[in-house]
Amino acid sequence: MVILTLNCGSSSVKYQLYDWDERRILATGMVERVTQPGSVITHKTSGKDEFVREKDCPDHRVAIELIQEAIVDPSHGAITSIEDVKAVGHRVVHGGEKFSKSVLVDDSVLAAFREIQDLAPLHNPANIMGIEAARTALPDVPHCAIMDTAWHQTMPQSSYMYALPYSWYEKYGVRRYGFHGTSFLYTAKRAAVLLGKDPFETNVIVAHVGNGSSINAVKNGCSFDTSMGLTPLEGLVMGTRSGDMDPAIPFYLTNICGIAIDEVERALNKKSGLLGITEEFVDRRDIQKAAEKGNKKAQLAIEMEAYRIRKYIGSYTAALGKVDALVFTAGVGERGALIRELAAQGLDVMGIKLDPRKNNVSITKNAETIISTDDSPTKIFVIPTDEELVMTEDTYAIMAGTYDVHTNFTYSFQTADYMNQERNGCVDQDVDKFDGLESILAFPPSPAGTVNPEDCE
């Protein structure tokens, strides 16, 4: 069964084509600059050269048509006919309180997404456009929605409520929802595997650190608290988002300084965070290089990002009482050794002890590693996330009639012998590249996972 997953942003569509029967990725890619001049698709079929094509995509419908053309192209495609696609899974950022698990999309589900789209104005409208476009382009296959917020529906009211007039929650849905749910689900359940514990007897803290960042306290295998709130703006210092701040700042800027409210909102989401502090950089690699050359703002940005993560780890350790593992994931969490080291500084008193040597060689996105000291009461793992697999598996299970909320459902990756073929086949190259990496692998690579070296990053 071939499943297509789509992640539609306001100006991009990221996709993956997956063969469920063979448990392997057939193709991946992204269409960028959707609705803008100079649209381009970058497509990669396993075992073939990367393909890049420019074509104007005035809307998401044209972008998805472009994806269809790429995946069936005789030269660089992955399947012979679009009819080989039997289901489509869609990422939806905000499901509000209406959805506690992934669902089959119908008109009523789309209507529910439209009702709450103002809760995620930068994300949900694009998600909805993508679903509508895909249903038009692929009308004869089932479409499923996988919500970022669903994972967090287990949070207690004391975690998700704000100390605001209760009527705002009742009338307007003002509460903490949390995001990055598919990433947290995957990494929390993989952490339980690495610990050799029942996931529902496991407490972990997961730091998803990328351009968008959030952190999740997982108690007895379920989301207990998280840093993002009503929208993805709250919490950690991010690439262009401010994270936590005094909520009176927008009033001060608009009422006293005379800045228009829409300009303030745009700045908080797109001109703040690391970009706001450095006034120049978003990519952590650029920031680190600048800091090493003496750039004071870059140095400050690194310190602020790491401190915010460390502060949340400390507060969530207090909230959970006992923490079995601290997990780093996503682009920076997986390969940003400096941020991990600084974020873990001073946590020894809480039983969270990072080994600097292990941390410095854990810069692979292909393997799960252990970077805590041997005597650390709390393990520290680096677990590459796999949101696409969660989307694919939810979609398949919905089609098969076996799907349920994660507390009543077991994923294929919840076993010690689970293997991501593509990543596993690249580990040997990483071991050759990074001296000492092999000694910190949670599981040794299996020869069965060998892939084309050109497919490894």
How far apart (Å, rounded) are the C-alpha atoms in residues 451 and 433?
Answer: 17
Residue 396, both tokens: 């398949």
How far apart (Å, rounded) are the C-alpha atoms in residues 174 and 230?
Answer: 6
Q: Is 148 a catalytic residue?
A: yes
Residues 124, 116: contact at Cβ < 8 Å? yes
The single residue of 21, 49, 56, 148 carrying the catalytic annotation is 148
* Cα Rg, the chain, nearest whole Å: 22
How far apart (Å, rounded) are the C-alpha atoms in residues 124 and 176?
Answer: 17
In degrees rounded to 5, what are phi and psi of residue 223? Answer: -60, 130
Q: Residue 220: name the closest of 237, 239, 203, 208 by CA.
A: 203
The separation between CA 90 and the C-alpha centre of its own chain, rounded to angstroms, equals 14
Query: How many CB atoms lie under 10 A from the CB of residue 395?
Result: 29
Residue 333, both tokens: 């969490």
Query: CB neighbours of 99 closer than 8 A, spacing ≥ 6?
Result: 112, 145, 147, 149, 150, 153
How far apart (Å, rounded) are the C-alpha atoms in residues 240 and 98?
Answer: 29
Q: What is the DSSP letter of 348?
A: G
Residue 261, both tokens: 């409210």
Tokens 């923490």 belong to which residue? 323
Could you list the beta-strand ranges (E) of 242-297. Answer: none
Strand order of the β-sheet with 369-370 is: 222-226, 214-219, 204-208, 325-329, 379-382, 369-370
How far apart (Å, rounded) are the C-alpha atoms in residues 404 and 397?
Answer: 8
Active-site residues: which are they? 148
